[in-house]
Amino acid sequence: MDAKTLIACRVAQEMKDGDVVNLGIGLPTLVPDFLPEDVHITLQSENGFTGLGPLAGPPLPDLVNAGGKPCGMVPGTAFFDSALSFCIIRGGHVDVTVLGGLQVDQEGNLANWMVPGKMVPGMGGAMDLVTGAKNVIVAMEHATREGGAKILKRCTLPLTAAGRVGTIVTELAVFRFVDGRLVLTETAPGVSLDDVRARTEADYAVSPACRAMPLPRWLYE
């Protein structure tokens, strides 16, 4: 089973009907593909519109998402300038933001924008989104390509924001921050508590109600 598909499918279950949602580039953009039929969200794009939708037909030359990729729009789309876009974000009007992560630590800190020694264009709107959104979900693979931990006692990379992460979803587990403490609440089917412990550096509690991720059967077919 593809890890990114599993993560996106589980994150989609966090959405509630009517939510205003901002999705980061990469894995988070897969989330709308797995929304339950009775859940309808409004996607906000930080470059200046609400109503982001899937690309249908030839791309429009001047319509791109925040990552600069061609995109579509749904009925009711509204366009505005970047100033208003960031007023929406900074004013707390985004219900959920879903971002990828390079590192998250047990204090709820996120590092997702810079790897020292590599060229990066800048932090973009991530700092504003993580600070301004009501609910911050980090959707990322559990370990690095080399097998190193990404859920740490303390981030070692430059931070995007401090103490703002609410939920972490990986292909192995779901963690939530409860009263300032990192808590394991779900494991992926076939994944044991020992499997999660072996690949997680951070200190965390295991919820008494910890369960298997409620994933649709078709994901395994």
Enzyme catalytic residues: 46
Contacts of 67 (CB under 8 A, 6+ apart): 25
117 to 100, 157, 158: CA distances (angstroms): 20, 11, 12
Radius of gyration of the chain (CA): 17
Contacts of 126 (CB under 8 A, 6+ apart): 24, 99, 112, 113, 160, 161
Number of residues assigned to the chain: 221
User: Strands 181-187 and 205-212: what pairing?
Assistant: parallel
